[in-house]
Amino acid sequence: TGLSSLYDSAELSDVCLIASRDEAASDEAEKAASSSSVRKFPAHRAVLAAATPYFRALFAPRANGAPLAAPGASVRLRAVAPEALEIVLRFVYTGEFEFSPDIAQEVYEAAALLQLDCLLDRLRVGMSTCIGAENCVPLYLLADAHGDSQLKEAAYTFMRAEPRQLADTGALDGAPDWLMDRLLSDECLRVQCETDALYTLVRWAAADPDARLIPARDKLRWHIRYNLISSDLSTSTSTSSSSTLALRMAASVNASLDCLLQPPQATSSITTTSAASSTPRLGNRSRLLYLGGRGGRSWRDDADLTAVDVMDAWSGEWKSMESLPSRRCLFAAASADTVSSQAVLIVGGESDGMLLDDCWLMDLRDAAGCRWLPGPSLPGPRAEHCLVRLGGCSTDGGAGGGSVLLLLGGLGQAHEPAVLCLEGPDFAEGAWRQVTTLPACRRGAAAVASPDNSAGGGSCVDFLGGLDAFDQPSRSWFRYDPLVNHWRRMPDLPAPLAHFGLVASPDTGALYCLGGGGAGASPSAACWRCDQRRGVWDQLAPMPAPRQRLCAAIAGAEIFVIGGECRPFLDLGHSVEPALLAAGVDIYDVRAARWRQMTAGGGACPTEPQPRTDACLLAVPYV
């Protein structure tokens, strides 16, 4: 309070700071200090010198005994916004700082000039959490100019994840060619197809064709994988994809940009690997995480219960990752990404016949290696449940507007009706709490997040099938709307199902039910699709083999089915027949409406993990 009152009253001030927006402001303008772009701030040399190395060097005596700025002299800070300097001085005198995105970049410039590291740290945290399409490029250039690698990479991560959005909104118009060179050459550029990468280049060049055509044609074009652009850019628009149409429209801005639609010709002076690559970018590919489950020949064989295997969805190649913290099956898993991490969360399940209540997270971006770290435990043990992540939702129970995880159904001491919620973005620090109850208790059901067109396009949770309290498979379909904390009944499933696969198309919202079975029922090979606009279930081509207790995930336009049982465990009284586990990976192409067996990119069968059941499968994009 003492320094605060000293600053407010300007009492005992012995230096005057003059802030000017204009770097070339005249001395007359600074003396007048009458315009909004120039302001004077009385201050105290001792306070400023104690706070920043900049003023300490300015006020300290030099070799000849005289400081650079003598007592009573004015210090001109050109190209510093007066409003920004006022915030900096308030922080120096009081330690108070309230982050505002509107002026954050100007305050950052002032704090960097004055070498005020403690304020820079606060600004970096605030700016990293409010990166968007409109400011990611300016923030990247700002951080690059000041050598701030943390803020720079945070801005670049957003740019790499949303190139099409940045191109559509013109956010990349201010990007220099060296930044576009880094972006387009990035193996992890998140594009739906390579046409989007070319579209990003053309839109950037169209913003200033005279200055950008040469670098786009001679350098940046080499990063585009033209052989992966499926649509012929010279065909009629009636047969072209939306990406191709947008690309053609962008090129029509200037006829000289037509050269970018054609692949460059190799020369001896230019060498590149990306132009000739036939492999999709990692950003256009997903990896499948296959976690836990039961393996071997019988229900009580503990083989591979801790295994975590990863498959590249394009190449079909498998590799192993850090094993689960303990053997488990009948658990649930979901993505738990945050701004700075790409995490996977597992919760509950069964191990050696005992139900579990623990929760674990693994950060796939951890530079020190992917490790499982403990998370918040459940209020009680649970198995055969579902876990769904929703983004930007809220409930009457008080879940905020960020991401949440919802845990539904399952078996604890009995059938569990409580729906539990874990709030993000930091799932590791949260606590599970009840937000609602199920309309009907189920175990072995399936749940997925999908858009609800009738509720304005918000995300809802679809909860389908499962075994009821009498262990009979159900046909029920319930939909939970977290915005109003309300359940409603949807059209029944075409058949009673439990322990089946369920995925939702990210493009259309259509639901796909795959395989399944029930108490005493034989595994099914049936595949059903529900167009939510019509509310009708359509039967699709059956899976190559029947499966129940399977895993399913969707990556792009392909549905991956793995694991499960072709024949259930049978107790015949005098003998038992172990479950026959399904081998191989079956893939359903949503666009072509047909099934195929997984093969590696070169055509050979991939090496796959030992068959298992009651496991989890997640599709995770490369980052």
Given a cut of 90, is residue 372 above it in pLDDT?
Answer: yes
**What CATH number does the domain containing 248 carry?**
1.25.40
Are residues 211 and 92 part of one domain?
no
Q: What is the mean pLDDT of residues 410-424?
A: 89
* 138 falls within a domain: no
Q: Does 403 share its domain with 460? A: yes
CATH of the domain at 54: 3.30.710.10
Rounded to whole angstroms, how far apart are CA atoms 520 and 568?
A: 8
Residue 275 lies in a domain: no
Domain termination residue (choose one: 261, 296, 329): 261
Of residues 251 and 198, the one with the higher pLDDT is 198
**H or E stretch covering 566:** strand 565-567
**Predicted local distance difference test score (pLDDT) of residue 11:** 76
Give the residue-averaged pLDDT of 403-420: 91
CA distance 494 to 469: 21
Residues 217, 363, single domain; the answer is: no
**Whose CA is closest to 426, among 366, 339, 323?**
339
Averaged pLDDT, 418-425? 89
* Tokens 């977290």 found at: 482
Give the pLDDT band (50/70/90) at residue 268.
very low
Of the candidates 102, 130, 158, which is a domain's last residue? 130
520 occurs within a structural domain: yes
Same domain, 241 and 293: no
pLDDT the model gives residue 39: 85
pLDDT of amino acid 15: 84
Boundaries of domain holding 507 = 285-621
pLDDT of residue 601: 46
**Please, which pLDDT band fits residue 236 given cuts at 50, 70 and 90?**
very low
Predicted pLDDT of residue 51: 87
pLDDT value, residue 573: 61
Instruction: Report the alpha-carbon distance of residue 370 to residue 354 in Å, rounded.
Output: 27
Q: Does residue 407 sit within a domain?
A: yes
339 vs 305, residue with greater confidence? 305
The answer on 449 and 594 residing in a single domain is: yes
What is the count of structural domains for the chain? 3
Within its chain, how far is the Cα of 406 from the centroid? 18
Q: Answer whether 459's CB lies under 8 Å from 512's CB.
A: no
Highest mean pLDDT out of 24-38, 49-63, 365-379, 549-563: 549-563
Average pLDDT over residues 413-433: 88
- Domain with residue 379: its CATH number is 2.120.10.80
Distance CA 194, CA 437 (A): 45
Q: Which residue has the higher pLDDT, 29 or 558?
A: 558
pLDDT in tens, 168-199: 999 999 999 999 999 999 988 888 788 889 99
Q: Which residue has the higher pLDDT, 323 or 254?
A: 323
Same domain, 476 and 568: yes
Distance CA 444, CA 432 (A): 21
Residue type, 546: P
Residues 386 and 480 in one domain: yes
Q: 499 with 405, same domain?
A: yes
Q: What is residue 569's predicted lDDT score, i.e. its pLDDT?
A: 67
Contact 335, 617 (CB under 8 A): no
**pLDDT given for residue 396 in this prediction:** 46
Q: Which two tokens stand for residue 592?
A: 């072509």
Three-class SS of 163-184: HHHHHHHCHHHHCCHHHHHHHH
Same domain, yes or no: 256 and 294? no
Distance, in Å, from the CA atom of 577 to the CA atom of 617, rounded to the nearest integer, reads: 27
* Among candidate residues 108, 130, 152, the one where a domain is terminated: 130
Q: If you compute the radius of gyration of the chain from its CA atoms, what whole number of angstroms results?
A: 30
Distance, CA of 17 to CA of 452 (rounded, Å): 57
H or E segment and range at residue 45? helix 45-51
> Has residue 239 got a pLDDT over 50?
no
Kindly state whether residues 383 and 445 are assigned to the same domain.
yes
pTM of the model: 0.70
Residue 109 included in any domain: yes
The pLDDT of residue 250 is 79
Query: Is 541 in a helix, a strand, or coil?
Result: coil
Q: What is the pLDDT of residues 132-170, one digit of tens each?
A: 899 999 999 999 999 999 999 999 989 998 898 899 999
pLDDT digits (tens, 9 = 90+) for 491-508: 999 999 999 999 999 878
pLDDT at 369: 66
Per DSSP, the residues of 403-446 read -EEEEE--BSSSB--EEEEEE-S-GGG---EEEEE-SS--BS-E
Please state at what angle helix 177-184 crosses helix 136-145, rounded to 10 degrees: 110
Distance CA 166, CA 203 (A): 10
Residue-wise pLDDT for 89-104, tens only, equals: 889 888 888 889 889 9
**pLDDT of 507:** 78
Whether 244 and 299 map to the same domain: the answer is no
Question: Is 276 domain-assigned?
Answer: no
Query: Is 197 in the same domain as 343?
Result: no
| Residue 237 pLDDT class (50, 70, 90 cuts) | very low
Give a yes or no: residue 155 inside a domain: no
Of 152-156, 228-232, 410-414, 616-620, where does mean pLDDT reach its minimum?
A: 228-232
